[in-house]
């Protein structure tokens, strides 16, 4: 499937990129491996209907920095493996103990806790194998690839997503604290979003000023994404979200609405999106998908 030029329609852009990523992942995991149930567990969650936002942001950042997103499709798709692993593990009884994800029973409800843990382990490890295989692409400099892999390892690990998940777990039933809330949101959700964008820019050999701008954009939309998630957990529907709503309140998690209230949280999300768009004001029209994705976040219902 050829990669189309930007047409000004963000929904069409997101759909096109999602289809490219879905097709790549389907073909990548089409060969059988032993034991078959491990493949079934992995592909069950990987093909459960995710929006592919993180890999799409990686592709869009690459394009904004004058890169050809077709060159990094494999690398960007590997980010979805990291995201899916985190969801499988986050749903486990020892973590959030959720029964529903993307409108389907969670992985451990179908395959058992042990297989769900191994599926997550396999996805995380395979993600970095996929990234390393990009060394065979002559259009990507090896030095840039190593920097991009380092970026994802940092933002997905103890200094990023895992650190945020740990603090989120520790903060259940704790007294509301603004600094702790900011740490959780910027690490648990924001870090991988920002890292995906930075990796795409790095792979396009983006200069330091442009990379700094992409970073500011990523930090702002990463936090906005989670603030909006917090709001949707209160106002959204289970059918639209594909997961049980109201779980944050039941688990007494720290969220923006629980500390700041719904209206202030909405205003915060709007401010963050405006700051994200402003951060990339000096980019050419090739960054228009990034601008539109940021605005689209405010409208999302799932």
User: Within a domain: residue 234?
Assistant: yes
Give the closest residue to 157 by CA, choosing from 133, 125, 179, 119.
125
Q: Is position 4 within any domain?
A: no
Domain harbouring 52, CATH code: 1.10.600.10
Is pLDDT at 251 greater than 80 in this prediction? no
- Work out how many domains the chain is built from and give that number: 1
In a domain, 251, yes or no: yes
Q: In 10 A of CB 11, how many CB atoms?
A: 9
Distances (CA, A) of 213 to 129, 223, 278: 29, 16, 9
pLDDT digits (tens, 9 = 90+) for 252-286: 778 999 899 999 999 999 999 999 999 999 999 99
Task: Say if 145 falls within a structural domain.
Answer: yes
Residue 104's DSSP bridge partners are 101
User: In this predicted model, which residue has the larger pLDDT, 253 or 48?
Assistant: 48
Q: Are 266 and 205 in contact (CB under 8 A)?
A: no
Q: Is the pLDDT of residue 290 over 90?
A: yes
2 lies in some domain:
no
* Structural domain that includes position 216: 10-297
184 within some domain: yes
Contacts of residue 71, defined as CB under 8 A and 6 or more positions apart, other chains included, come to 62, 137, 139, 140, 203
72 band by pLDDT with thresholds 50, 70 and 90: very high
CB 236 within 8 A of CB 260: no
Provide the whole-model pTM.
Answer: 0.93
In a 10 Å sphere around its CB, with 0-12 CB exposed, 13-18 middle and 19+ buried, how is residue 106 labelled?
A: buried
Does a structural domain hold residue 3? no
Establish if 1 belongs to a structural domain. no
Give the range among 87-91, 155-159, 174-178 with minimum mean pLDDT: 174-178
């Amino acid at each position: 499937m050829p990669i189309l030029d930007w047409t000004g329609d963000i929904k069409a852009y997101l759909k096109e990129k999602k289809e490219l990523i879905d097709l790549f992942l389907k073909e990548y995991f089409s060969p059988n491996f032993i034991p078959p149930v491990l493949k079934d567990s992995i592909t069950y969650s990987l093909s459960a209907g995710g929006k592919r936002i993180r890999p799409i942001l990686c592709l869009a950042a690459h394009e904004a920095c004058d890169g050809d997103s077709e060159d990094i499709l494999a690398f960007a798709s590997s980010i979805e493996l990291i995201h899916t692993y985190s969801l499988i593990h986050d749903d486990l009884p020892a973590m959030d103990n959720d029964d529903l994800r993307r409108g389907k029973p969670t992985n451990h409800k179908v395959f058992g806790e042990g297989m769900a843990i191994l599926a997550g382990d396999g996805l995380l490890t395979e993600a970095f194998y996929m990234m390393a295989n990009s060394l065979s692409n002559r259009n990507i400099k090896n030095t840039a690839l190593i920097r991009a892999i380092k970026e994802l390892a940092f933002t997905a690990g103890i200094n990023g997503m895992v650190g945020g998940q740990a603090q989120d777990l520790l903060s259940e039933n704790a007294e509301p604290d603004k600094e702790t809330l900011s740490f959780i949101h910027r690490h648990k959700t924001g870090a991988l979003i920002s890292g995906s964008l930075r990796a795409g820019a790095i792979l396009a050999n983006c200069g330091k000023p442009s990379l700094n701008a992409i970073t500011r954009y990523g930090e702002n939309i990463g936090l906005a994404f989670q603030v909006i998630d917090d709001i949707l957990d209160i106002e959204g529907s289970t059918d639209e979200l594909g997961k049980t709503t109201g779980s944050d309140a039941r688990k007494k998690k720290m969220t923006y609405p629980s500390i700041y209230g719904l209206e202030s949280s909405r205003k915060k999300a709007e401010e963050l999106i405006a700051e994200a768009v402003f951060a990339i004001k000096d980019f050419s029209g090739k960054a228009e998908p990034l601008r539109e994705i940021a605005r689209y976040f405010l409208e999302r219902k799932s």
